[in-house]
Amino acid sequence: MPERKRLTLKDLAAEINVHYSTVSRVMNPATRHLVADDVAARILEVAEARGFRPNRIAAGLRTQRSGLVGVVLPDIANPVFPPILAGIEAVLAQQGYVPIVVNAGLDKVRQRFVIDQLVGRQVEGLLLATAEREDPILDYCLKQRIPAVMINRGEDAGRASCVVSDNLLAMRLTVDHLVALGHRRIGHIAGPAALSTGYQRREGFLQAVRRHRLRREAWQVVEADSYSREAGRQACARLFADFPGMTAIAAGNDLIAMGCYDYLREHGLCCPADISVVGHNDMPFVDALTPPLTTVRIPVHQMGEDAARLLLQQIGAPASPPVTVELVPELIVRGSTAPPPAPH
């Protein structure tokens, strides 16, 4: 049986008796508004009836536009990323773009491979949630002149646009809350210092405890190996070993806070009766933990939206200067914080 010939734009245009450029505009959501509503509706109706699908590869070769954006994540299992992705998709869809989401992990060789694969598939730009403060992957993107925007993390040199949360304010809100409850011995489990979030939240914690004039022996910081639940449990063990008498923990993120919950349960300690815990991110379902987690909410959906807008602007104007968007966090008080236990 001979192979069925693929229906082209010109075939469809001839059948409807319009110019093929009109059909092309209608098939692209970003340009559909340029065609009268009744004409667009007729074209879409006939296209659907005839099973027409535009050849994006051919169109990309012709226009140098693929309509694809790469989204590179460090850990797709982290619940903070789905709402960020939802924000990204909402903005890209309005302009006819589609995201390709890749779980790149933490290994830089793997990340470089992923970037090369995405570029080979003609993505028009990259949204990077993997950036470090000194990041060779971002260096590579800039040298290759690939439009790139960082999400949730920035880099020290400020060479690329990013959308981040105000980490210094977030830790000030955390420490203010704990001090207001009466805590005077507070530990902080920081995220990795190579990441802007880990470094800045640690700095925010240090600024906050000094602002409250807490003595040096009244606070302690340990660094988690990663932003994971198991790393949080291990860091919590080190923190208790280094800082006996602690009554509250400011965790670097919600997964680290969950690791603290694990450690407390293993050692017969009760949250918040014995130890108060504060997380960071307000990722989905932390309100369903026992106890519900007090945490810093960052506007993750807006973060994705803003990052997508910045990338589309950069794709349209590659020479535009980098922009930093800093979103305002909010402390969400739940059941994991309470006044410290009375001294025995």
251 and 309 share one domain: no
pLDDT in tens, 117-139: 888 888 999 999 998 898 888 88
What are the angstrom distances between the C-alpha of 261 and each of 36, 48, 164, 251, 320? 59, 54, 27, 11, 46
89 and 24 share one domain: no
Residue 310 has pLDDT above 80, yes or no: yes
**Whole domain around residue 109: which residue ranges?**
66-165+300-328
247 and 150 share one domain: no
Position 308 in a domain: yes
207 and 228 share one domain: yes
pLDDT in tens, 136-167: 888 888 888 889 999 999 888 888 999 999 99
Position 343 in a domain: no
Position 337 in a domain: no
Position 59 in a domain: no
147 and 178 share one domain: no
Number of domains in the chain: 3
Annotate 195-214 with b (16+ C-beta within 10 A) or e (fewer). Answer: bbbbbbbbebbbebbeebeb
Position 77 in a domain: yes
What are the angstrom distances between the C-alpha of 310 and each of 160, 318, 323? 10, 11, 8
pLDDT in tens, 239-296: 999 998 999 999 999 999 999 999 999 999 999 999 999 999 999 999 999 999 999 9
Position 4 in a domain: no
pTM given for the model: 0.80
Position 60 in a domain: no
39 and 80 share one domain: no
- Please report, as a single letter, which amino acid is at residue 20: Y
Q: Write the CATH number for 90.
A: 3.40.50.2300
Position 154 in a domain: yes
Burial classification of residue 144, based on how many CB atoms lie within 10 Å of its CB (0-12 exposed, 13-18 middle, 19 or more buried): exposed
